[in-house]
Amino acid sequence: DRTLSTITNAPSGSSGTLTVIQDAVGGHLLTLDAGYNTAAGDVAATVDMGPNELAQLSWFTHDSVNFYIWSTV
C-alpha cells in the first residue's frame, strides 16, 4: 500500500498523467494525500485495483496550490 503525496513545484496551469500498475498479487491500495481534490469533491480517495490492472491518474492545477485528480481504470 502507498500514499501519493501532493505534487510540489508545479506552475499554475500545469497538468499531467500518472500510470499506476498493480502487481500480480493485486489488492494493494493507493491512497491520495489530502492535498488532492477528486472529481466528487472529496479531499482524499483510494484507488483499489485487482491483479495486473492499470489505472491512469490525471491531474491539473490552476493556481499551484489546489490539485484536482481523477482516475480511469
Residues 8-39 pLDDT 10s: 999 999 999 999 888 999 888 888 888 888 87
**Higher per-residue pLDDT: 71 or 7:** 7
Q: Does residue 65 have a pLDDT over 60?
A: yes
Q: Which long-range contacts (CB under 8 A, 24 or more apart) does 7-10 make?
A: 7/59, 7/61, 7/67, 10/61, 10/64, 10/67
Q: What percent of the chain has pLDDT over 70?
A: 85
Task: Note if the pTM is more than 0.75.
Answer: yes
Average pLDDT, stretch 40-64? 79
Average pLDDT, stretch 37-53? 72
